[in-house]
Amino acid sequence: MELEFKKCNDFWIDNGVENLYKIFRKIEKYHPDIESKIKPDKVILQFEDINKFVDKMAEIVEELKYERLLIEEKDKKTGVKKRVKKDYILIQYGSKDSKGVNTLKEKIYTNPKDELNKIFNLITTKPKSSKSNKVCLCCGEEFSKEYQNMKQASYPMTTKIKSLGGIRGNAENYKEICPKCYLAGILEWADDYLYKYLGDKSYIFIPYNFNLVKLNEFKDKYRIFLNNSNRYCNIGENREIYGKYSALLKFYEYLIDNAKLNENPNIVWHIITVPNKDIKNIKVDKFEMMGEIFRVMKVTIGELDGDSLYGDFLNGIYIKEERKNKIEWEGTNELREGISEAFLTNNFRKFVKYFIPKNKHYIILHNDARKILEKIIINWRWIKLGIPKEHLETIKKSGNVIAEVCIHNNLNLLYKLDKVRTSEEFWSVMREISRKMISLDAENTKYINPMVLGDLISLVKEYEKDWKELRDLLEIYSCMYISIKQYKPEDNNNDNK
Ligand SMILES: [Zn+2]
């Protein structure tokens, strides 16, 4: 018998179809008379003996359930091991089994053999050519009998809120899902995707490409790197991932560094936010990595020589309270997430702003973080400008002058530089900086080169159309030197690195 599972241009169901292919391939290893193929628009399954097929598939579903959905965890108080559902999974708990272990309400997970038999029976039953046929809300195909109605467990974009008619964006009466889409949708929870728990909510990141073959190739590249036995995060230590963009940054570093991905994969991430409360009204956002940022990451990682962009750059940035000499962790985590977002969304202006110290808070950059920041600046901005590299020294040294002036006066000049809207305003701030510099005493100008401001002025005049870019560069170097000048060695004691 031959069955086809067609893609339907829905990221959840299509990933579910690709995941079915992964399961079918596993079954093939045990039963050579079962064969599956993946094509850009469908997965084809051939088998002789449905019982043999369902028996093996039931075993796999059982394994996946404990590996991906109901994981074993030690109770923090009693130390007793128990099975808990990962927090983002939108399948309800069922009643406990005879051994007192948690189960899932969906029967396909509690009794896979019987339920798979029922589902495949329905799938292999041809629709009668009558008007009573139903149309699947996901794939649009006709079918004669449903396994069950659509609900969040099989299709998470469904919502229970009555005012929305039960299904987001659809009228009340449409809740039909065909047995094939049910199967793909309910098993998608056991697929390979990224997840990250954040206390009040969780994120799941589902990759998508319209071509199922390409989607499959991409998922095969990263499958082995995921740590799915961790309840909270499967791409590294949970406490070291600060939000959705830092998770993606960490993951792209894996793809480039470990999976040796050379080209930006043609993938759109569908990021599902699942609130950690009773009504699971979810939200879906998309993220697509830009080729330019992928290139910057790849080149920079290639230059790191054993260091990592995530561990040595992002985790080497801190916020410290001016008076207390103490790391402010909440702000630090927000800062690291913000920097990741600005970088991944290719927003250098926003990236620069994150390095400006504010409200009596210092920004601390560890040595490695500073070195990597410079590599990012060069690979991301400088190369693109096409200005000879020796001129970068002028900007760097001018940043040092501005930092010195700010340290001995206040940060207002830096804030003014950040706010300039025209090149005239820019020149006016530069003149103010020059005046303030002259009033510094000899002791404070020992390590800076006051003459460099003259070079900076000729540089900006020569490349006046790029004055905003040059201002951004000047600003981030000023921030970097302010951070160096504010950083005191005794700060190290508290860094917890
Ligand atoms: Zn369907």
Instruction: Enumerate the β-bridge partners of residue 270.
Output: 206, 286
Give the pLDDT confidence score for residue 489 in this predicted structure. 59
Q: What is the pTM of this model?
A: 0.91
CA of 7 to the centre of ligand 1 (A): 9
CA of 94 to the centre of ligand 1 (A): 26
CA of 15 to the centre of ligand 1 (A): 13
CA of 6 to the centre of ligand 1 (A): 9
Q: Read off the pLDDT of each residue in 21-25 and give the average, rounded to a whole number.
A: 97
Report in angstroms the alpha-carbon separations of 485 from 50, 355, 458, 472: 72, 14, 27, 20
CA of 64 to the centre of ligand 1 (A): 23
CA of 136 to the centre of ligand 1 (A): 5
CA of 146 to the centre of ligand 1 (A): 10
CA of 193 to the centre of ligand 1 (A): 22
CA of 106 to the centre of ligand 1 (A): 18
Mean pLDDT, the chain, as a whole number? 90
CA of 370 to the centre of ligand 1 (A): 52
CA of 192 to the centre of ligand 1 (A): 22
350-378 confidence digits (pLDDT tens): 999 999 998 788 899 999 999 999 999 99
pLDDT class of 78 with cuts at 50, 70, 90: confident
CA of 223 to the centre of ligand 1 (A): 26
Q: Read off the pLDDT of each residue in 384-395 and give the average, rounded to a whole number.
A: 90
Q: Read off the pLDDT of each residue in 411-427 and give the average, rounded to a whole number.
A: 92
Give the pLDDT confidence score for residue 323 in this predicted structure. 78
CA of 328 to the centre of ligand 1 (A): 50
CA of 139 to the centre of ligand 1 (A): 4
- What is the distance between the alpha carbons of residues 223 and 18, in angstroms, rounded to a whole number? 13
CA of 186 to the centre of ligand 1 (A): 12
CA of 140 to the centre of ligand 1 (A): 6
CA of 284 to the centre of ligand 1 (A): 21
pLDDT class of 157 with cuts at 50, 70, 90: confident
pLDDT class of 135 with cuts at 50, 70, 90: confident
CA of 393 to the centre of ligand 1 (A): 61
196-206 confidence digits (pLDDT tens): 999 899 999 99
Give the pLDDT confidence score for residue 164 in this predicted structure. 43
CA of 138 to the centre of ligand 1 (A): 5
Q: Read off the pLDDT of each residue in 179-191 and give the average, rounded to a whole number.
A: 97
CA of 9 to the centre of ligand 1 (A): 11
Q: Read off the pLDDT of each residue in 482-491 and give the average, rounded to a whole number.
A: 76
Give the pLDDT confidence score for residue 182 in this predicted structure. 96
Return the higher-pLDDT residue of 444 and 41.
Answer: 41
pLDDT class of 142 with cuts at 50, 70, 90: confident
CA of 35 to the centre of ligand 1 (A): 22
pLDDT class of 496 with cuts at 50, 70, 90: very low
CA of 156 to the centre of ligand 1 (A): 15
Q: Read off the pLDDT of each residue in 396-404 and give the average, rounded to a whole number.
A: 93
CA of 3 to the centre of ligand 1 (A): 13
CA of 198 to the centre of ligand 1 (A): 33
CA of 147 to the centre of ligand 1 (A): 11
In the predicted model, is pLDDT for residue 174 greater than 70? Answer: no
